[in-house]
Amino acid sequence: MGKRCILNVILHHGANQPLLDQESNWAIVYNGEIYNYIELKQDLIALGHTFKTNSDTEAEVLLKAWVEWKLGALHRLNGMFAFAVFNIKN
């Protein structure tokens, strides 16, 4: 998987994609906006998930949501986005 970024945005740690969750072996490429990512992040923290980035937070929240809820995560998302997930072990 791969992703291209518009160069007029500030690149930061965590902006490189695919983003990999080492614990679950899931990877994600993502583009868009998730309007309720702060609430989702709080829900995921309450379920025991930890977050490594402060920068590309929406992508990491989406990845953790996928790990936790799989297709059920789609019903929790409010926004406009496209993403692909891949299990690197399978």
Q: Answer with the residue of higher pLDDT: 13 or 23.
A: 23
Q: Look at residue 82 and tell me if it is in a domain.
A: yes
Q: Look at residue 13 and tell me if it is in a domain.
A: no
CB of 67 within 8 A of CB of 3?
A: no
Q: Look at residue 68 and tell me if it is in a domain.
A: yes
- What pLDDT shows up at residue 19? 93
Is the pTM of the predicted complex or chain greater than 0.85? no
The mean pLDDT of 65-83, rounded to a whole number, is: 98
% of the chain surpassing 90 pLDDT: 73
Structural domains of the chain, count: 1
- What pLDDT shows up at residue 13? 45
- What pLDDT shows up at residue 4? 58
The mean pLDDT of 58-62, rounded to a whole number, is: 95
Q: Which two tokens stand for residue 8?
A: 């007029």
- As a whole number of angstroms, the distance between CA 14 and CA 76 comes to 23
Q: Look at residue 52 and tell me if it is in a domain.
A: yes
Q: Look at residue 3 and tell me if it is in a domain.
A: no
Length of the chain: 90
Q: Look at residue 54 and tell me if it is in a domain.
A: yes
Q: State which residues form the domain around 53.
A: 19-87
Alpha helix ranges (H) inside the chain? 37-46, 57-69
